[in-house]
């Protein structure tokens, strides 16, 4: 996301972007592939934030998303809450601890879903951090790697470290889900790192197969409109 300078700017951009999406929803169609049936913890890239529109319609529990306390996080929160998704504000500390973890863990244990931008809040781009592994360890719920894709030029890339993807005019998108990844509650630091690498590999594999999956969905015309 582009860095925002003050609260007034945050409010202005939040309202403006939500208004744009209210129109864009009439022209955007998404299809989930291999969507999970049980509540889980979705791993998404920072650039793929808009994939949450498919996640909240998977009918496997209410969706909560962790968003940082940064200025960028404020504008994302303003928009996301208007979409009917619960937001848990998080702070990322130097030792890898994440405030807000306890709240999300409780929601996961109570049958709700969670989503986390695993390369956020500041990157590096498309490198999984271990925060989501720790959340899965504490909650006992699986991580489901998730990737959003469209070859169409109307899925724009915004400026910023993450190159966030945003649809503009008529856009067809697929949202791919990997197989669930469980983390044992007694996992050692070494095992946590192994799981982090497993999630990383799964995310990369989804990226590789996405073009073919898009062609398959396009051939059968399985699109449905999303309400931003």
pLDDT digit string (tens) for 175-209?
Answer: 999 999 999 999 999 999 999 999 999 999 999 99
227 domain-assigned: no
2 domain-assigned: no
Total number of domains constituting the chain: 1
Cα separation, 120 vs 107, whole angstroms: 21
Domain limits for position 168: 7-220
134 domain-assigned: yes
- Ranges of beta strands (E only) in 78-226 are 86-92, 98-99, 113-117, 143-149, 155-157, 165-167, 171-177, 224-225
Indicate whether 104 pLDDT > 90: yes
1 domain-assigned: no
How far apart are the two ends of the chain, measured CA to CA in Å? 18
How many other C-beta atoms lie within 10 A of the C-beta of residue 84? Answer: 10
Lowest-confidence pick of 3-7, 127-131, 152-156, 175-179: 3-7
Question: What pLDDT score was predicted for residue 123?
Answer: 85
- Ranges of beta strands (E only) in 82-135 are 86-92, 98-99, 113-117
194 domain-assigned: yes
Indicate whether 102 pLDDT > 70: yes
54 domain-assigned: yes
Question: What pLDDT score was predicted for residue 4?
Answer: 47
pTM for this model (two decimals): 0.87
How many other C-beta atoms lie within 10 A of the C-beta of residue 58? Answer: 20
Lowest-confidence pick of 9-23, 75-89, 105-119: 9-23
Read off the pLDDT of residues 163-174 as tens digits, 9 standing for 90 and up. 989 888 999 999
Contact 113, 86 (CB under 8 A): no
207 domain-assigned: yes
226 domain-assigned: no
pLDDT band, very low/low/confident/very high, at 2 (cuts 50, 70, 90)? very low
Indicate whether 96 pLDDT > 50: no
What are 195's two structure tokens? Answer: 């799981």
Read off the pLDDT of residues 49-71 as tens digits, 9 standing for 90 and up. 888 888 988 777 889 999 877 66
């Amino acid at each position: 996301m582009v860095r925002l300078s003050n609260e007034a700017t945050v409010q202005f951009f939040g309202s403006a972007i939500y208004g744009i999406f209210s129109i864009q929803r009439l022209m955007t169609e998404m299809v989930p592939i291999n969507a999970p049936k049980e509540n889980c913890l979705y791993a998404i890239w920072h650039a793929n934030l808009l994939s949450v529109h498919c996640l909240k319609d998977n009918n496997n529990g209410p969706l909560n998303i962790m968003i940082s306390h940064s200025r960028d996080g404020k504008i994302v929160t303003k928009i996301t809450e208007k979409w009917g998704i619960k937001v848990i504000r998080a702070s990322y500390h130097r030792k890898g601890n994440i405030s807000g973890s306890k709240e999300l863990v409780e929601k996961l244990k109570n049958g709700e879903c969670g989503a986390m931008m695993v390369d956020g809040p500041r990157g590096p781009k498309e490198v999984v951090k271990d925060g989501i592994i720790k959340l899965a360890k504490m909650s006992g719920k699986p991580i489901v790697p998730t990737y959003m894709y469209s070859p169409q030029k109307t899925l724009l890339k915004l400026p910023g470290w993450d190159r966030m993807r945003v649809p503009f005019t008529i856009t067809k998108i697929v949202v791919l889900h990997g197989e669930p990844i469980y983390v044992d509650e007694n996992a050692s630091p070494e095992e946590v790192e192994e799981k982090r690498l497993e999630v990383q590999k799964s995310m990369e594999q989804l990226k590789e197969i996405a073009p073919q999956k898009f062609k398959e969905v396009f051939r059968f015309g399985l699109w449905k409109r999303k309400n931003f």
